[in-house]
Amino acid sequence: MAKVKTAFFCSSCGTQFSKWLGQCTACKQWNTIVEEVIQKEEKVAWQTKSSVGVKRVSKPLLINEIDSSQEVRLNTLDGELNRVLGGGLVPGSMVLLGGEPGIGKSTLLLQLSLKLPYKVLYVSGEESQKQIKMRAERVNPNNTTCYILTETNTQNIFKQIEDIQPDVLIIDSIQTLHTDYIEASAGTISQIKETTAELIKFAKETSTPVILIGHITKDGNIAGPKILEHMVDTVLQFEGDRNHVYRILRALKNRFGSTAELGIYEMQGSGLREVSNPSEILLSHRQEELSGTAIASTLEGMRPLMIEVQALVSTAVYGTPQRSSTGYNLKRLNMILAVLEKRAGFRLGMKDVFLNITGGISVDDPAIDLAVVVSILSSNEDDAVSKDFCFAGEVGLSGEIRPVNRVDQRIQEAEKLGFSKIFISKYNKITYQSKQIEVVLISKIEDLVSALF
């Protein structure tokens, strides 16, 4: 391959030099010499046999002339992944999946490629074909549409793509690929940008969906340049604790759907199982009633969830009381404690307060404020709240209970799971009428305290 030739020019007078100098010897100007490319090899990274020697020119169209018919999405036969993507894989889209090592990224995409009824090419730069076969035996050993290729050179991958012509391309992982047009090792910023650009060109010209696996850094960001996330259409994050069996799939960016949806999986010996009812894993199945726990009705995207909020209030051993929260905003916890102190008269200023959202998830929905208040007061009074009660309301700075959105969905979910009462703001407009669950309307924290304790 011919090397790219560069030279140095003075941006002031245009004199050419063979190397960089601080001062131009012709015009005596300082710091004006810059490097420029004078010969660059023509790229042929991706081209179909029919397009060889043919230059396509893009033609502008009036926006009214553009075909607006809905593109048919590819059904992945995975309800959780379909929900996160917005209904399935869009033809010609680029999906980037990131996550910690060992979290299950390769397992998820291998399971997907073995489940899809389309022709899939699974390209791995990290495992041999025998290693992938060993993992595939646990999931679906009788698949007849999945091709496995162990290759890291993009030019060789495109040759195999021309022969197989897959409907879906999966790359594991983008950090292991390299192209002949960049003289750098695999995983460097220039290689990641160039190989991704080649795959995007292939995806858009052939309307083939491409799914990439991306490594992450110790900070939790996808390794490589930030422009990688701008180049692709969808960025998915696969997260969870390796000490627990549950995994959460989130969309950080999605050009074809919502970023508020999430999918939940359970890691088993035979692969990842879809969890269609997340409340089953977020609620503990305890028999006796314990103080310091309350059930909150929250929403993740379009999906209502019932989560358990646990609080522990104890006398401060040291001079400064501790405030700690897991899965809940610590600043919001401090605000709620100040409201309880000022508006409701509870002396919590010299007590330690620990808060935990069970299941290892983080919640941003302000509707769980009411359950946080109930769990704190329950632990402080050491008085248990019935496990058949649930709560949905935002707490304001003046101690009022503010309304929350989509309250009808929350009531229906609570009714479906067998709760007897749900506490909400009296300012909510309710259209759903139910005879199986009692809706308790409250306006202030004082109403809540008198109703429960």
Tell me: is residue 102 an annotated ligand-binding position: yes
312: tokens are 């522990």
441: tokens are 């309307």
DSSP 77: S
Tell me: is residue 418 an annotated ligand-binding position: no
Spatial neighbors of 436 by CB under 8 A, at least 6 apart, are 415
Tell me: is residue 101 an annotated ligand-binding position: yes
Determine contact, residues 321/349, Cβ cutoff 8 Å: yes
Spatial neighbors of 310 by CB under 8 A, at least 6 apart, are 292, 293, 355, 356, 357, 358, 375
Spatial neighbors of 104 by CB under 8 A, at least 6 apart, are 238, 240, 247, 265, 267, 272
Tell me: is residue 104 an annotated ligand-binding position: yes
H or E element, residue 157: helix 154-164
Tell me: is residue 271 an annotated ligand-binding position: no
Determine contact, residues 41/4, Cβ cutoff 8 Å: yes
Residues found in the chain: 453
Q: Give 166-208 as a DSSP string.
A: -SEEEEE-GGG-B-TTS-S-TTSHHHHHHHHHHHHHHHHHHT-
| CA-wise closest residue to 399 among 433, 439, 369, 379 | 369
H or E element, residue 235: strand 234-240
Determine contact, residues 274/265, Cβ cutoff 8 Å: yes
> Could you tell me which residues are annotated as the binding site for ATP?
99-106
> Could you tell me which residues are annotated as the binding site?
99-106
